[in-house]
Amino acid sequence: MATRQGLDAETVLQAAIDLADQQGIEQLSLAALATKLTIKTPSLYNHIKGLPDLRKQLSKRGLLLVKEAMVEAVIGKAEDEALLAAGMAYVDFARKQPGLYEAISALPDYEDPELKEVGAGVVSFLLRILAPYGLSEEDALHVVRGFRSMVHGFASLEHRNGFRMGLDRDESLRRLLQTYLRGLRVR
């Protein structure tokens, strides 16, 4: 072996993200990851705690990045326009980083404190966008659930080729969100 490369946790995580995005989260194994990094599998344990830990890191990073994408997308926008842009950004994220998105979505342990915190960050972001609607706290929380259900459901179905008709997908998403928002206006 040549000189050691001095991997760190972030490099390992990035390589794992690449693998997950390219081959799917199911195919992400420590063996494959070690091969990609040209080290032996047990050496990974210097940087991660194990496979479950790695998956958790992917989930957390995914949640952070998807929120970041939504924050970026709503700059200069408000109300319906902002919600539409946030929804599109969410789905676009799932398209561009499918493995990371799977990591968010195939998550078993949502009870983990770290993930709870990041998840709460997404919710409070959405609540801030909803502020101008003047909803009660309870109403707003129902809307947040609705919004998350729509975009997650759409992204998830699209990801698994659940939409098989030759129908424009962006248009489907736009209509879904707009129809919902229209319904919200006319209460």
Q: Which residues bind a copy of itself (CB under 8 A)?
A: 24, 26, 105-108, 110-111, 116, 119-120, 138, 141-143, 145-146, 148-154, 156-157, 160-165, 167, 171-172, 175-176, 178-184, 186-187
d(CA 166, CA 19): 29
Binding partner of 46, given DNA, a copy of itself, none, CB within 5-8 angstroms per partner class: DNA
> Residue 52 is which amino acid?
P
Q: For DNA, which residue of 23, 51, 133, 152 counts as binding (CB under 7 A)?
A: 51
The contact pattern for DNA, residues 10-49, with x = CB under 7 A and - = no contact, is: -------------------xxxx-----xxxxxx-xxx--
When asked if residue 106 is in the footprint of DNA (CB under 7 A), the reply is no
Confirm if 33 and 22 have CB atoms less than 8 A apart.
no
Tell me the two tokens of residue 82.
């902002």
Which residue in this structure is represented by tokens 């404190």? 113
Closest CB to a copy of itself among 132 and 146? 146
d(CA 20, CA 59): 11
Binding partner of 186, given a copy of itself, DNA, none, CB within 5-8 angstroms per partner class: a copy of itself
Nearest one of 106, 115, 100, 93 to 17, comparing CA atoms:
100
CB atoms within 10 A of CB 149: 11
For the CB of residue 4, give the shortest distance to a copy of itself in the complex, in Å.
35
Spell out the residues 6+ positions from residue 109 whose beta carbon is closer than 8 angstroms to its own.
56, 115
For the CB of residue 34, give the shortest distance to DNA in the complex, in Å.
7
The contact set with DNA (CB under 7 A) reads 1, 3-8, 29-32, 38-43, 45-47, 50-52
